[in-house]
Amino acid sequence: MPAAPAQAFARCPDRLGLYPVLPTAEWVERVVGFGVKTVQLRRKSAEPADELKREIARCVAAGREHDAQVFINDHWQAALEAGAYGVHLGQEDLHTADLSALAMAGIRLGLSTHGFYEILKALHFRPSYIALGAVFPTTTKVMPTAPQGLKRLARYVHLLDGVVPLVAIGGIDLQVLPDVLATGVGCAAVVRAVTEAADPAAAVSALQHAFAQ
């Protein structure tokens, strides 16, 4: 494995709450406008480069305007240039991203994991949070492993609580969110529960309410 940066990544709040993962800057602007404090831009393509940079700049600006924590998925170089709050990377990105540059800039790092081995690998890099997934089957991306399920999620929370902030991700919607939160995890990432909702503002409000129970 690559060496971990000499400087640990800045820590996120232990309980990040609702964490919508969104496809465009327009979505990011809408959702932080609803009062959500942690969001992620997951833009599939890096092309065209100028458009990507404009999208990321809009997301960074929206985060600052609404005092929200905006993470950029994958595109760490553009995020670094834009002064983003955070970057979310997959395991495969650990061998190519300049983690030291990100850590030195104070950018938070979230890492995807899909089981115990990848959790151990992620902990080596002292990230700002670890995402645990996929909890349930998901159609938003092809997953390398079978769904983790609630029992395994609860086991991860028991082992890692107080060590690093945790994010549950994968197939989470309003119906299953109470069961996810019952494991003790302090954050749940959602995609379709917001982006495919008939009324995104109402959907966000209902999801936020589940965290307040």
Q: List the binding residues.
A: 40-44, 73-74, 93, 112, 138-141, 171
- Please report how many Cα atoms fall inside a 13 Å half-sphere around the Cα of residue 110, on the Cβ side: 34
Instruction: Give me the helices (H) in 67-190, please.
Output: 76-82, 99-104, 116-124, 149-160, 177-181
In contact, 184 and 157? CB cutoff 8 Å: yes
Distance CA 17, CA 81 (A): 27
CA-to-CA separations, 89 to 57, 203, 213, in angstroms, rounded: 19, 27, 31
In contact, 71 and 84? CB cutoff 8 Å: yes
Return binding residues for Mg(2+): 74, 93
